[in-house]
Amino acid sequence: MLYSTLVTFWAFLSQVLDPDGCCRRAVTRVQTLCSALKLRLPDEDTGVYCTARRRLPIRLLLRVFYFTAVRVAAPPATGRRVVVLDGTCVRMPDSPANAAAYSYSPNQKRGCGFPLLPLLGLFDLRSGAWLAMVKSKPWVHDARQAWRMLKHLRAGDILLADRAYCSYAFIGACKAKGVDVVMRLHQAAKSISASAAALAPATG
């Protein structure tokens, strides 16, 4: 078969890395390869390629992801590894199944837009590589999912995150693993400090 798993994977990878990102350019690269190998050229229609791309085994993609992440995220020769924790959303196809499983943007009119899949990602600041990812549920705060990222942190890491993850418990768990944390103080910290001061026994 022309679009074997290997050919389809490399065509897909070239499409992802291409600033244009269209399927036609990926098909053109496959045509160029076939021409160089004196093989039958695939049709210019992108439908066959798109069908083959949908058949790519998810296990293959995950193996490639973890293989790459382990190597690009190796600690630098000098200094410490800095990793970034942050959340995002991915737009899903507007199918009935996705609409039932995922929520829509609160700013979107009912019946419009696309379902959103919440994700929490861990990135290597030096290389920009995506090291790990966990799926979330609609309306679940990222701070609750951050605990699932602890297993991906190493002793000596520096974790960079925004104030949404700033809690004593999470910071303590990071420190217990030998991970230093750089975060802005949570906006509620002042009220926490004031409450603690009010509850403290009077002295003098």
- Per the model's pLDDT, the better-predicted residue between 86 and 79 turns out to be 86
Q: What is the pLDDT of residues 80-103, one digit of tens each?
A: 889 999 988 888 888 888 887 777
Separation of alpha carbons 196 and 185, rounded Å: 16
Of 84, 88, 175, the residue nearest 124 (C-alpha): 84
Residue of 172, 159, 167, 173 whose CA lies nearest to 122: 159
pLDDT band at 195 (very low <50, low <70, confident <90, very high): very low
Cβ–Cβ < 8 Å for 9, 52: no
Span 74-192 CATH architecture: Alpha-Beta Complex (3.90)
Contact 67, 40 (CB under 8 A): no
- The domains of the chain are located at 5-56, 74-192
Give the type of residue at 49: Y
Q: What is the pLDDT of residue 26?
A: 92
Q: Give the pLDDT confidence of 110-132 residue by residue, as tens digits.
A: 667 788 888 888 998 888 888 88
The CA distance from 131 to 118, in Å, is: 17
Whole-angstrom distance, CA of residue 71 vs CA of residue 107:
40
pLDDT of res. 107: 75
Interval 158-173 mean pLDDT: 90
Determine the Cα–Cα distance for residues 65 and 98; give it in Å rounded to an integer. 24
> So what's the pLDDT on residue 157?
92
